[in-house]
Amino acid sequence: MQTEVTIEDLVKGEGKAAEKGALITAHYRGWLEDGTEFDSSYSRGRAFQTVLSQKKVIQGWFIGLQGMKTGGKRKLWVPAELAYGERRIGDMIPANSNLIFEIELLEVLTRDD
């Protein structure tokens, strides 16, 4: 059983690195292991913005985005324990689902900005 996030950098970013507490803006797609897409900011036509913290994103994103640089694109394989665990999320994500994300980091704002 996979218990850690697997990270693949598809495009290395050149800008500011994401860190705990930073305000990030990203586009992403999320899939179940069978290839079913359950979410996409591209489909909504609007990037996702959040603070990178353990309370705001799933643990797999919190771990997998730290150190990623603006302009980068990263693929994350997130085991269920670091995603939603035993919780079912809506009609799209069954309980105990391993998730795959492709994330494009558009902007990082830190407390120093």
Place of tokens 């996979």: 2
Q: What is the pTM of this model?
A: 0.93
Write out the chain's pLDDT in tens, 113 residues. Answer: 567 999 999 999 999 999 999 999 999 999 999 999 999 999 999 999 999 999 999 999 999 999 999 999 999 999 999 999 999 999 999 999 999 999 999 999 987 76
Structure-block tokens of residue 18: 């994401």
Active site residues: 28, 38-39, 58, 84, 101
DSSP E strands, the chain: 6-11, 23-32, 37-40, 48-51, 73-78, 99-109
